Each structure stands twice: as structure tokens, then as C-alpha cells.
């Protein structure tokens, strides 16, 4: 087999059932690791199940809302719902927590994480193409829907937290984006440019290269246990050049120091004047 055919064959992979299964396992396990999720599973199994479905199908739900489509359309995929629900039950209610103990095996976790990143690529590409079918050549719509389809679980995290009775507005992904949300946005831009024929690369080649990038960095972050985004140096450089983010704290400190010095110098004459008044009053009393 010729090497140039590998990206083409890779782009023809079917996500159901194995890759979707990996996505459901990684998503539900991530939900269980959230603080208070186990307590919710005991107190209200339905709320826990609904939160798990938001983790698994958040991208479909959010993209449907953005395109004025029925948000419950993902429930029509009975096989996917049954598979995700089975994973949810095993993760939260398996006797002796056997399922999660098996999943804690590092090679298995790496395999599942890599397969989940493959589904991310497919969702981004599908979201961009789906948006183009509704709004022809609408770049922003294509980027937004591709982003929502690929990272919907993170973008609706505040709503998912409300289902579990938690309200943390400071965790809004728009305020502080996580690495998956950032890299999905970049992927949505790339696939939009490719779909609009402004990026001179075949779709299957872009799918292959982008997926390899996602898998390599995901595995690297898990092996090194590094939570820092590999895009951090680029973000810092762009933020400094475009928005002056690196200058803001020092400038504010300088202004505050200057204002404090000015206030102290302004207070000195008033203090001297106050002391002079006291001395004159003392002489009069004498």
C-alpha cells in the first residue's frame, strides 16, 4: 500500500462504535472526576445521567441550537444513547468500581484519549460542512458551528454544572479557555479555510495531519502530567504584540506608585500647615 493513501483511508474511518465508545468513556470518567459528581449520582441518578449526556453530546446540542435545529435531535440516535448510557452506568455504579479501576491502567487511558481526539477532528469537519449547507460561504458561522460541534461539552460546562446544582461562573470557557477548547477553535478555523478553498490542502490530508497533532500533544501532556497548554508561548507572544497583555500589570503598578507618591507629597504641606496652627494656638493660651 502506498503511503499517500494512508490519509485517505484514515479519513474514511467510521466513528461508531469503537471511537464513539472511547469518547463516551473519556467524557463520563471526566465527569466522575468533578467535585461532587459522585454525591449527585447517589442523590439523583437522573441528574447524573443528564450531565453525562451533556458531556457526551454537548457538541451536537449546542450546534443544533446555533442553527435553529431541534436540540433534542441527538436523542434520535438510539444506539449512541444506549451506548453512552451503558458507559455512564458502568462508570458510576459498577460493583467495587471495577470499570474505573481497569480504566486507570495508563496504556488503556492513552489509547482512549487518542481515540477521543480522533472523534474531535471528525466533529469539527462535520460541523463546518453542516454549517456551510445552511449558510453558504459564511465563514463566521462555519467556524462557530465547527467549534461548537468539537468542543460543545466544554462550552456548555456552566449549564452542565447547574444540572448538578453547582454554579461557578468563573469557570466559563470564554473567560479562561482550556486547551481542548482552544485547539478546537484553531481546528475550526483551519477546516473552514480548507472548505472555502483558501487553504491549499486536501481535506483528507488536513484531517490526518490535524489528528496526528492532537493525539501527539494529548499523549505527551498525559505522560508528562503537564497541565500547561503547548500553545502557551504562542498565546503569550500574540497577546503581548496585539493586546499588550504583558505590559498591563507593570503599567498599572507604575501608575499606582506615582499616584501614591503624589498623594504623599500633597499631604505634606497640609500636615505642616496643621502643625503651625497648633503652635499658634498654644502661644495664645500661654
Instruction: Answer whether residue 203 shows pLDDT above 80.
Output: yes
pLDDT (tens digit per residue) in 218-240: 999 999 988 788 888 888 898 88
User: In the prediction, which pLDDT does 269 show?
Assistant: 47
User: In the prediction, which pLDDT does 24 show?
Assistant: 98
The overall pTM is greater than 0.95? no
Indicate the length of the chain as a whole number. 286
CA–CA gap between residue 121 and residue 80 (Å, rounded):
18
Instruction: Answer whether residue 17 shows pLDDT above 50.
Output: yes
Q: What are phi and psi of 231, to 5 degrees?
A: -90, 0
User: How far from the centroid of its chain's Cα atoms is residue 114's Cα?
Assistant: 17
Give me Rg for the CA atoms of the chain.
Answer: 27
CA–CA gap between residue 51 and residue 248 (Å, rounded):
39
CA–CA gap between residue 21 and residue 16 (Å, rounded):
7
pLDDT (tens digit per residue) in 117-132: 999 999 999 999 999 9
**Confidence tier at 140 by pLDDT (50, 70, 90):** very high
Q: What are phi and psi of 19, to 5 degrees?
A: -70, -40
User: In the prediction, which pLDDT does 276 show?
Assistant: 52
Least confident residue range of 23-37, 122-136, 252-266: 252-266
**Domain assignments of the chain as residue spans, ordered by start:** 15-227+265-285
User: In the prediction, which pLDDT does 37 show?
Assistant: 96
Closest CA to 198 of 148, 137, 145, 149: 137
Amino acid at each position: 500500500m502506498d503511503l499517500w493513501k494512508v490519509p485517505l483511508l484514515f479519513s474514511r474511518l467510521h466513528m461508531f462504535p469503537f471511537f464513539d465508545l472511547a469518547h463516551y468513556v473519556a467524557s463520563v470518567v471526566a465527569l466522575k472526576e468533578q467535585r461532587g459528581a459522585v454525591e449527585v449520582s447517589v442523590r439523583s441518578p437522573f441528574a447524573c445521567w443528564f450531565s453525562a449526556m451533556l458531556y457526551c453530546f454537548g457538541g451536537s446540542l449546542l450546534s443544533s441550537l446555533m442553527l435553529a435545529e431541534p436540540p433534542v435531535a441527538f436523542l434520535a440516535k438510539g444506539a449512541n444513547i444506549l451506548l453512552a448510557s451503558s458507559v455512564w452506568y458502568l462508570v458510576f455504579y459498577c460493583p467495587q468500581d471495577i470499570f474505573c479501576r481497569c480504566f486507570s491502567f495508563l496504556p488503556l487511558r492513552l489509547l482512549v484519549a487518542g481515540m477521543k481526539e480522533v472523534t474531535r477532528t471528525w466533529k469539527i469537519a462535520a460541523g463546518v460542512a453542516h454549517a456551510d449547507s445552511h449558510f453558504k460561504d459564511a465563514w463566521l458561522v462555519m467556524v462557530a458551528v465547527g467549534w461548537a460541534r468539537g468542543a460543545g461539552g466544554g462550552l456548555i460546562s456552566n449549564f452542565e454544572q447547574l444540572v448538578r446544582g453547582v454554579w461557578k461562573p468563573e469557570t466559563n470557557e470564554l473567560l479562561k479557555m482550556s486547551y481542548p477548547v482552544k485547539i478546537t477553535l484553531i481546528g475550526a478555523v483551519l477546516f473552514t479555510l480548507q472548505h472555502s478553498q483558501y487553504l491549499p490542502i486536501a481535506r483528507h490530508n488536513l484531517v490526518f495531519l490535524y489528528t496526528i497533532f492532537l493525539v501527539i500533544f494529548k499523549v505527551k501532556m498525559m505522560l508528562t502530567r503537564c497541565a500547561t497548554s503547548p500553545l502557551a508561548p504562542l498565546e503569550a507572544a500574540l497577546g503581548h504584540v496585539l493586546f499588550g497583555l504583558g505590559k498591563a500589570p507593570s503599567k498599572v503598578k507604575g501608575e499606582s506608585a506615582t499616584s501614591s507618591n503624589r498623594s504623599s507629597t500633597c499631604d505634606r504641606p497640609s500636615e505642616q500647615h496643621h502643625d503651625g496652627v497648633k503652635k499658634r494656638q498654644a502661644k495664645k493660651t500661654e
